[in-house]
Amino acid sequence: MEGGFVDQIFVRAKALLLSPLAHAPDWVTQIASSLLSISAMLVVFLTLFALMSLLERKILARIQNRLGPNRVGTFGLLQPAADGIKMLIKEDIVPARADKVVHFLAPIMVAVPTILALGVIPYGRNMTLFAIDGGILFFFAVGSATELAVFMAGWGSNNKFSMLGAMRAIAQMVSYELPLIVSVLPVVMIVGSLSPDAIVAAQGGYTFGVIPHWFVTTPWGAASFLLFFIAGLVESNRTPFDVPEGESEIVAGHMTEYSGFKYATFFLAEYFGMFAISGLAVTLFLGGWHAPFAFLQFIPSFVWFFAKLGLLLFVFIWIRGTLPRMRVDHVMNFAWKFMLPMTFACVLAAAIWHYQARSLAGWLWSGA
């Protein structure tokens, strides 16, 4: 049942926790509500991070005919906890010639934008942390700040491998940011809004009760989704586009001089970036929290969102275990010679598709 108790359990729990502040000033209630929402989101995604770090190692081991983690806890289930403890107790080494302030701030500057980007994604019915009208614009605005953070990590470390890795990362991120943004334009153009909630609402409904009105079911939507996913794969620095941290060439790229908790923060930010890109792909093209079939709408909306998110995360892992790392020049050529022209073609195709219902001839020659 739509809007049922289970579907809105988190919304009701939040309202219950805020009930003691019923007579408090509005600004106090708003701050408490925001802090509560952010805390809940961090708990959910930190848990998902621990789960995905284990599943990734298990799936890659299965692909490579190995066992994977199987020593800490039953079937290795406590391996993420062991890894976290190890990172916390490791010595934090800062190079003597590094800029210590910049070196310290870089991991924070990498992690914060990914957390903010996760805040504008609708995780279920009435479950958007920051329901702002320009949510899509906000997502890309805060996401672009990671490029500055990567440069800070490379420059602040005062290491040639770090700086080279940072320059590679920035060149790659800038090159693929344009196709990533342009691939979103068809959806924004069709819906007429930059609000993630409005985009999800536009994908509601079914044809004959079995064909969802998701944008990925249209020709232009399927192409845009594929291009968005590839560009997101590059932005996340995932295989086969993990050129900035090519171990065989430049050690660990801009993270070379980091250890302990700071290194773990970079690792966490990479996964959070992967969650954000996958979550936005679900929102834009896969119907958000809508069920795939009308008769399955009784299942809570947030279950469908995280099921779709998990499917995309599995594809990330599958690609990592299947494809080798690409050459730097091939990665850059692919962005400018294929990705960008194809995304513009998708925008044109979506425009033609959208106005076809109004009679294409009448649209082209109206007022002539």
DSSP symbols for 21-49:
GTTS-HHHHHHHHHHHHHHHHHHHHHHHH
pLDDT band at 359 (very low <50, low <70, confident <90, very high): low
166 compared with 315, residue with greater pLDDT: 315
pLDDT band at 367 (very low <50, low <70, confident <90, very high): very low
**In angstroms, rounded to a whole number, what is the distance separating the alpha carbons of residues 126 and 131?**
9
Assess whether pLDDT exceeds 50 at residue 141: yes
Residue 2, amino acid: E
Count Cβ atoms below 10 Å from residue 30 Cβ, excluding itself. 12
* The predicted structure's pLDDT at residue 53: 92
Give tens-digit pLDDT for 186-215.
Answer: 999 999 999 999 999 999 888 887 889 999
Average pLDDT over residues 347-354: 88
Calculate the alpha carbon distances from 2 to 42, 202, 205, 287 in Å: 26, 17, 13, 16
Average pLDDT over residues 135-140: 94
- DSSP tag of 179: H
Which of 275, 254, 251 is closest to 266 using CA atoms? 254
* The predicted structure's pLDDT at residue 353: 84
CA angle 132, 134, 137 (to 5 degrees): 130
pLDDT band at 166 (very low <50, low <70, confident <90, very high): confident
Residue 160, amino acid: K
Average pLDDT over residues 229-239: 90
| H helices present in 158-259, as ranges | 160-182, 185-191, 196-202, 219-235, 247-250
pLDDT band at 279 (very low <50, low <70, confident <90, very high): very high
Extended beta strands in 58-203, E state: none
* The predicted structure's pLDDT at residue 362: 52
Mean pLDDT, the chain, rounded, equals 87
**C-beta of residue 195 within 8 angstroms of C-beta of residue 133:** yes
Instruction: List Cβ neighbours of 191 (8 Å cut-off, separation of 6 or more).
Output: 198, 199, 202
Pairing of strands 206-207, 211-212: antiparallel
Count Cβ atoms below 10 Å from residue 355 Cβ, excluding itself. 13
Strand, coil or helix: 219: helix
pLDDT band at 226 (very low <50, low <70, confident <90, very high): very high
Assess whether pLDDT exceeds 90 at residue 275: yes
Backbone angles phi, psi at 228, to 5 degrees: -65, -45
Give tens-digit pLDDT for 50-75.
Answer: 999 999 999 999 998 998 888 888 88
**In angstroms, rounded to a whole number, what is the distance separating the alpha carbons of residues 91 and 24?**
45
Average pLDDT over residues 12-35: 86
Residue found by looking up tokens 């470390």 in the block: 157
* The predicted structure's pLDDT at residue 365: 44
pLDDT band at 250 (very low <50, low <70, confident <90, very high): low
pLDDT band at 284 (very low <50, low <70, confident <90, very high): very high
Share of the chain above pLDDT 90, in %: 46
**In angstroms, rounded to a whole number, what is the distance separating the alpha carbons of residues 170 and 193?**
30
Instruction: List Cβ neighbours of 83 (8 Å cut-off, separation of 6 or more).
Output: 53
* The predicted structure's pLDDT at residue 237: 84
pLDDT band at 136 (very low <50, low <70, confident <90, very high): very high
Assess whether pLDDT exceeds 60 at residue 242: yes
* The predicted structure's pLDDT at residue 245: 65
Which of 235, 132, 135, 220 is closest to 183 using CA atoms? 220
* The predicted structure's pLDDT at residue 203: 92
- DSSP tag of 218: S
